[in-house]
Amino acid sequence: MKRLKSQYIFRHVRRVAAGLIGCCLLTACSDWFDVAPKTDLTAEKLYSTESGFESALTGIYLSMVTTEAYGGNMSFGLLDQLAQEYDYLPDGAVDQTAIYNYATTTSAGFATKQKLAQSWLKLYNVISNCNNFLKWLNSKGDQVIRNENTRNSYRAEALAIRAYCHFDLLRAWGPWKYGIDAAAASTKSIPYRVETNKEKMPLLPAKDVIEKVLKDLTQAKELLAAEKTLRLEDSNRRFRFNYHAVNALLARVYCYVGDAPHAIACAQDVIDHCGLLLSSSNQDDPILFSECLVALNMYHMQETTSRLWADGDKFSTQYFIRQERFDKYFEVSGSTREDMRTKSAAFYEHSSTKTAISRKYNTNPHEAVPLIRLPEMYFILCEMTNDMTASAKYLNLVRNKRGYSKSVNVSYTNAEGRLTALNKEFRKEFYAEGQYWFFLKRHGITQLPYAQNVELSKERFVFPLPDAEKEYGWTAASEQ
């Protein structure tokens, strides 16, 4: 009953927030931030009550789950298409490599340039709303929100969202092989915005962006200290940036930069204290929400994503995968299927057309789009641990839970063998979740054995700045 009541309250606040987005979270036509003097009066009223702050924060989460952000392009959409996770080709496309046409608007059906520009705009729009929220929290929070823990939680969530979006912008538009290529850390990448204004901001070196991301996340973690003992298994805090989610994001960032001690400490802390366990069943839960440390809620998900994920006799717009590739991808051998992610609870399969489609977004009772899931913490331990025997143990813990018997446990003796094994597990685990592209980019993996006609490169991994940013953004001349 408590859970149902909490879900009702969340959905009610979501409806209120949706009504407020039109007047308070405006998207400007020419800029990626949403400040306009005419909204000041509305904002004054909105932030005059605690429920107003709650609605505004919920509105920010809602804006994250649009098609341009994590309800499409930055999760199961564009990023996984770039990683060649699907066999689907849009109308007008005859070649999978046409998706890497970042320079023109005529990318043979993929519209990659437009989608990248939309995602850049949307993520900075989310960041701007976080900054605006923090501004009002600084000026009115103490008067309006009497409970200190509530104020701390609101501030922490806004900081965590700001860090999450900036980090993904860096991973997408920033350098490839960070931590491997010596020049990556100094490569100018993206602006880091901490105020909502129209001031042009410089492109920062990647290492400076990381420093600011870590600063925001460290502060968020401190503010959420009261949640250290929170158990997430029955908590609606999984739909918000809670303490364990912030810790997990810290582990992801530390892993990205190759800071093994901090990455291991954060990942292990999440595993030990979040209250979630690796699942051995995905029945009625193909997205494995039971392992979500933080997720976004997409209202009416099945209807919203039906064009991409609905099952049917044939697929014309859906992200399907051909059976032959599916078998190689998930290591299916004849009738032998140990991996629970290859079974009917995870995929619809059609023998007549020899195609399959994931059930993650049409059999999803929580309507959840995952941002961070628990198995990533084991993969971070696997990657950051120097002892190869211990490293393989973490990888096999996930494999065994997914159905593989211990008799086929993987082993390796060097970093190259580890990367090969981790690559296979990562692409299976995060299929249709948008994380695999970043994995490939960070490690500089250019060969895709399941898409042999595609070869990746530094040029394909690093997205060019959108035209609007190059035209209206910061330049050396504008600073002078």
Residue 14 pLDDT grade (very low, low, confident, very high; cuts 50, 70, 90): low
Residue 208 tokens read as 């400076």
CA distance 398 to 280: 9
pLDDT tens profile 412-452: 999 999 999 999 999 999 999 999 999 999 999 999 988 87
Residue 390, judged by CB atoms within 10 A of its CB (0-12, 13-18, 19+), counts as exposed
pLDDT tens profile 62-98: 999 999 999 999 999 999 999 999 999 888 787 889 9
CA distance 458 to 312: 38
Sorted by where each begins, the domain ranges of the chain are 44-286+373-473
CA distance 20 to 23: 6
Judged by average pLDDT, the poorest of 64-73, 98-107, 188-197, 237-246 is: 98-107
Residue 141 pLDDT > 80: yes
Q: What SS3 string covers 171-226? A: HHHCCCCECCECCHHHCEEECCCCCCCCCCCCCEEHHHHHHHHHHHHHHHHHHCHH
Q: State the CB neighbour count (10 A cutoff) for residue 80.
A: 22
Residue with tokens 């901090």: 262
CA distance 93 to 468: 26
Task: Give me the half-sphere count of Cα atoms (radius 13 Å) on the Cβ side of residue 309.
Answer: 21
In the prediction, which pLDDT does 475 show?
A: 55
Residue 295 tokens read as 């997720």
In the prediction, which pLDDT does 92 show?
A: 76
> Considering the chain, what is the average pLDDT of its residues?
90
Task: Give the chain's end-to-end CA distance (angstroms, integer).
Answer: 62
The closest alpha carbon to 132, from 51, 21, 232, belongs to 21
Q: State the CB neighbour count (10 A cutoff) for residue 300.
A: 9
The reported pTM is: 0.92
CATH number of 44-286+373-473: 1.25.40.390
Q: Who's near 334: CB < 8 A, 6+ residues apart?
A: none
Q: List Cα–Cα distances, 435 to 82, 159, 205, 244, 364, in angstroms.
A: 11, 22, 23, 19, 19
Quick one: average pLDDT of 245-272?
A: 98
pLDDT tens profile 291-340: 999 999 999 999 999 999 999 888 989 999 999 999 988 888 877 789 99
Residue 304, judged by CB atoms within 10 A of its CB (0-12, 13-18, 19+), counts as middle
Q: What SS3 string covers 125-141? A: HHHHHHHHHHHHHHHHH
Quick one: average pLDDT of 377-391?
A: 98
Quick one: average pLDDT of 397-417?
A: 97
CA distance 477 to 33: 22
Residue 256 tokens read as 């990205």
Name the percent of the chain lying above pLDDT 90. Answer: 78
With the CA atoms of 392, 267, 249 and 99 taken in that order, what torsion angle do they form, in degrees rounded to the nearest 10? 0
In the prediction, which pLDDT does 106 show?
A: 64
CA distance 360 to 347: 8
User: Kind of pairing, strands 204-205 and 292-297?
Assistant: unpaired
Identity of residue 222: E
